[in-house]
Amino acid sequence: MKKTTDRHQAILELVRTRDANVEALCATLGVSEATIRRDLTALAKQKRLVRTYGGATARVGVHEPEASLEERKSAQREQKEVIAQAAALHVLDGDTVLLDGGTTCAQLAWHLSTREDLHVVTNNLLAVTALANAPGVRLTLIGGELRGSSMSTLGPLAESPIPTSSAARASNTGRRCSATGGSSPRRWPTKRCSRRFARSMK
């Protein structure tokens, strides 16, 4: 069973993407209805969501405070590993890969560390840690303003090199994507950088 803080964070992430009912939250998180109802009541009292009949919805115009790096590393760890493993299957030796910021992309980096003739372009310092000593990987770090909560760079300096690169793969595994708008994380400077990553794919 998830810790209460991890479960609350998972509920908030689910509610941000769509209205969520108790039954769906129980199935997704693997806990009882009583537990979910207590969680929703507690989160509603903290004004982090709005209770609805049978579920909850996001508070309009309210942005959830961003979790710390350690909280993000520990939250939904098993799901991130599954996503990273699946994404790694799409990367071939000889590819150029763009890795965006975030802990899921950092997990993917560990799976790429044994590849051969791979060029990884990233603004993710956690990915740099995973790949710095990988003999088969050429690593390009994109500079910019450091975002400590994700250990990634952003801003004009982080965005400017991206359009000049033509990449075979791009990974923004921790965020939602739209067909027309590229990646859509919550913070606007990160959104702009992530969109540049998405548009750099062939």
Of the candidates 75, 11, 1, which has an alpha carbon nearest to the alpha carbon of residue 38?
11
In this predicted structure, the answer to whether residue 108 has a pLDDT above a threshold of 50 is yes
**Which H or E element spans position 17?**
helix 4-17
**Which H or E element spans position 14?**
helix 4-17
Dist CA 195 CA 158 (whole Å): 12
CB 141 within 8 A of CB 132: no
> How many other C-beta atoms are found inside a 10 Å radius of the C-beta of residue 85?
12
pLDDT of residue 181: 34
Question: In sequence order, what DSSP letters do the residues of 121-145 get, joined into one string?
Answer: EESBHHHHHHHTT-TTEEEEE--SE
Provide the residue ranges of all domains of the chain, joining segments of one domain with +.
4-57, 76-199
Express each pLDDT in 52-89 by its tens digit. 878 887 765 545 555 666 776 677 788 888 888 999 99
Specify the CATH number of the domain 76-199.
Answer: 3.40.50
pLDDT of residue 39: 92
pLDDT of residue 59: 65
| Greater model confidence, 145 or 86 | 86
Amino acid identity of residue 62, one-letter, is V
Q: Is the dihedral of CA 68, 69, 75, 80 positive or negative?
A: positive
Q: Does this chain's domain 4-57 share its CATH topology with 76-199?
A: no
The CATH number of 4-57, from 1.10.8, 1.10.10, 1.20.120, 1.25.40, is 1.10.10
Dist CA 126 CA 7 (whole Å): 24
CA atoms within 13 A on the CB side of 188: 0
pLDDT over 70 for what percent of the chain? 66
